[in-house]
Structure 1
Amino acid sequence: MATGYRSTMRIAVVGQIARDLVLTVPEVPEPGGRAVVGERREMLGGKGSNIARGTRQLGATAALVGVVGDDREGRLLVERLDADGVATTAVVCREGSRTALIVDVVCDGEYRYLMDIPTATLVTAQDVRAAAATLAGADAVVVQLEQPAEAALAAVRAASGLVVLDGAPDGRAAELLAAADAVRADHGEAEALTGRSITGTDAAVRAGRELLARGPSVVALEVPGEANVLTWGEDSAVIPLTDEEVVDPTGGGDAFVAALTVALVRGDDPEDAGRLATAAAGRAVRHPGGRTDLTGLSPVPSRH
Structure 2
Amino acid sequence: MSAARATTGVVEGVVAVVGQVGRDLVLRVDAVPGAGGSAAVRERREVLGGKGANQAVAAAQLGTSAALVGVVGDDAAGEEVLAQARRDGVDVRCVVRREGARTALLVDVVAGGERRLLEDVPEEVLLTAADVRAATGLLRRSAAVLVQLQQPAGAVSEALQIARGAGRFVVVDGAPEDAAVREEVLGAATVLRADAHEAELFCGRALRGADAVLAAARELVGRGPRLVVLEAGAAGNAVAWEGGGELVPLTAVEVVDPTGGGDSFTAALTVALLRGEEVERAVRWATAAAGSTVRRAGGRPALSPDELDEQADLLT
Q: TM-score range by the shorter chain?
A: over 0.9
- CA-based RMSD: 1.5
- Tell whether 2:239 aligns with 1:235: no
Amino acid at match of 1:95: E
Contact 1:219–1:231 (CA<8 Å) still a contact in 2? yes
On the 8 A contact 1:6/1:265 being kept in 2, the answer is no
Hey, what does 1:14 align to over in structure 2? 18
Equivalent AA in structure 2 for residue 222 of structure 1: E
Q: Does the 8 A contact of 1:97 with 1:120 survive in 2?
A: yes
Aligned match of 1:163 in 156, 170, 177? 170
Does structure 1 conserve the Cα–Cα contact (< 8 Å) formed by 2:60 and 2:90?
A: yes
The CA deviation string for residues 213-263 of structure 1, in whole angstroms up to 9 with x for no partner, is 221110001112231111000201211100110000001000000001111
Superposed, which structure 2 residues align to 1:187-198 within 5 Å?
187-198=196-207
Q: Partner residue of 1:222?
A: 231
Which of 68, 81, 86 does residue 82 from structure 1 map onto?
Answer: 86
Partner amino acid, structure 1, of 2:176: P
Assess, with a 3 A threshold, how the Cα gap between structure 1 residues 136 and 21 changes in structure 2: closer, same or farther: same
- Supply the AA of the counterpart residue of 1:287: R
Q: Conserved in 2, the CA contact under 8 Å of 1:64 and 1:87?
A: yes
| Distance across 2 between alignment mates of 1:14 and 1:165 | 10
Question: In structure 1, how many angstroms separate the alpha carbons of the residues matched to 2:43 and 2:302?
Answer: 19
Identity, % of aligned positions? 52
Conservation of the 8 A alpha-carbon contact between 2:11 and 2:271: no
Query: In 2, distance between residues paired with 1:85 and 1:238?
Result: 34
Of 46-55 and 21-30, the range deviating more from structure 2: 21-30
1:180 aligns with 2:196: no
Alpha-carbon shift at residue 188 of structure 1 (Å) = 1.6
Q: Partner amino acid for 1:14? A: V
Unaligned runs of 5+ in 2: 1-8
Q: Give a deviation string over 1:159-195, Cα, whole Å, max 9, x none.
A: 1310000001122110111111000011121122212
Alignment TM-score, normalising by the size of structure 1? 0.95
Q: Distance in 2 between matches of 1:290 and 1:279?
A: 15
Distance in 2 of aligned mates of 1:260 and 1:28: 34
Q: Which has the higher helix share?
A: 2
- What's the CA shift string for 1:63-95, capped at 9, x where partnerless? 100000010000010111111000011000001
Cα distance in structure 2, aligned partners of 1:58 and 1:279:
13
* 1:73–1:197 Cα change, 3 Å: same
Provide the residue aligned with 1:213 in structure 2: 222
Segments of structure 1 that go 5 or more residues without pairing to the other structure are: none
Tell me the residue number matched to 1:30.
34
Q: Distance in 1 between matches of 2:315 and 2:22?
A: 38
Whole-angstrom distance in 1 between the partners of 2:303 and 2:40: 31
Letter matched to residue 11 of structure 1: V
Instruction: Tell me if structure 1 keeps the 8 A contact 2:188–2:225.
Output: yes
Q: How does 1:84-163 map to 2 (within 5 A)?
A: 84-159=88-163, 160=166, 161-163=168-170
Correspondent of 2:291 among 279, 282, 291: 282
Tell me what 2:6 maps to.
none
Residues 9 and 59 of structure 1 are in contact (CA less than 8 Å); yes or no, is this contact kept in structure 2? no
Deviation at 1:210, TM superposition (A): 2.0
Q: Equivalents in 2 of 1:102, 1:59: separation in Å?
A: 27
Per the TM alignment, residue 9 of structure 1 is displaced from its structure 2 partner at its CA by 3.9
Alignment length, in residue pairs? Answer: 301
**What is the DSSP-based 3-state SS (H/G/I as helix, E as strand, rest coil) of the residue aligned with 1:29?**
coil
Q: Counterpart amino acid of 1:300?
A: A
Corresponding residue SS for 1:301: helix
Amino acid at match of 1:236: G
After superposing the two structures, state which structure 1 stretch, 92-101 or 210-219, moved more: 210-219
Indicate yes or no: 2:309 matched with 1:300.
no
Answer yes or no: is the 8 Å Cα contact 1:148–1:170 preserved in 2.
Answer: no
- Could you list the per-position Cα deviations for residues 2-39 of structure 1 after superposition, in whole angstroms to 9, with x for gaps in the alignment? xxx76424200000001001111111111122222111
SS in 2 for 1:242: coil
> Which secondary structure state, in structure 2, belongs to the residue aligned with residue 27 of structure 1?
coil
- Matched position secondary structure for 1:38: strand
SS state at 2:263 partner: helix
**Which amino acid counterpart does residue 43 of structure 2 have in structure 1?**
E
